[in-house]
Amino acid sequence: MVRIAAPVSDGRLGWIALAFVVGALSMSAVRAQQPAAQQPPAPAQQGQAVSNARLFTHEGALVLHFIKPDKTADFEAVITKLKEALQKSEKPERKEQAKGWKVFKSPDPAGANSLYVFVIDPAVKGADYQISNIILEAFPTEANELLKKYGEAYAQPAMNIVNLDMLQELGK
């Protein structure tokens, strides 16, 4: 019998461990079903929404983003603009989204790519989490350039979305 002990200080380690397990499992599942993988958005037409809204109808979600290693700076720049867009928005749901939306970068590669994990807990019911729509809403004149970099950063498969419902909160 092998025992593994690790200090857990605030639950963050648990989320990270869960993300890695889900990532490892989903990578093999996504490779087996590559046509089902999500595609990054195409650049927007000036002033138009890029694609359908991304709504999370469950309590939370993990979104795994597989990014080309040479494009991580571009992806991270768009995430910085996303944060700015959420903070400057006049929409109350955008402020709520920001409170429960965390972005992690795995220190370990996901195959040949870099792995970024969005932890959305709690998900704001009815709020659009489509990054391209949020960027376009906040930065209409910069959106095409930002979304071009964003789209070009993705590897194949691009991303995997895992919806979550709370089973138990073990610390309560």
8-state DSSP, 9: S
Provide the number of structural domains found in the chain: 1
- What residue has token string 């040949």? 112
Residue 12 in this model has a pLDDT that exceeds 90: no
170 lies in a domain? no
CA 76 vs. chain centroid, Å, equals: 12
Note whether residue 6 is domain-resident: no
Answer whether residue 43 shows pLDDT above 50. Answer: no
User: CATH number of the domain that 144 lies in?
Assistant: 3.30.70.100
Question: Mean per-residue pLDDT for 31-44?
Answer: 42
Q: Is residue 83 part of a domain?
A: yes
At residue 52, the pLDDT reads: 83
Within a domain: residue 4? no
| Tokens, residue 136 | 């376009």
Q: Which of the pair, 112 or 14, is modelled with greater confidence?
A: 112
**Residue range 98-113: mean pLDDT, rounded:** 96
Is 111's pLDDT higher than 50? yes
pLDDT of residue 15: 46
Structural domain contains residue 131: yes
Q: What is the mean pLDDT of residues 50-69?
A: 91
Q: Band the pLDDT of 11: cuts 50, 70, 90.
A: low
Determine which of 26-30, 107-111, 146-150 has the lowest per-residue pLDDT on average.
Answer: 26-30
Q: Is residue 171 part of a domain?
A: no
Per the structure, the complete domain to which residue 83 belongs is given by 12-164
3-state secondary structure of 2: coil
pLDDT for the residue 51: 55
Length of the chain: 172
Region of poorest pLDDT, from 26-30, 68-72, 124-128, 129-133: 26-30
* 141-150: average pLDDT: 96
Instruction: Determine, yes or no, domain membership for 45.
Output: yes
Q: Which of 9-18, 36-45, 60-69 has the highest mean pLDDT?
A: 60-69
Q: Are 134 and 82 in contact (CB under 8 A)?
A: yes
Residue carrying the six token digits 């809204």: 53
Q: Per the domain annotation, does 7 fall within a domain?
A: no
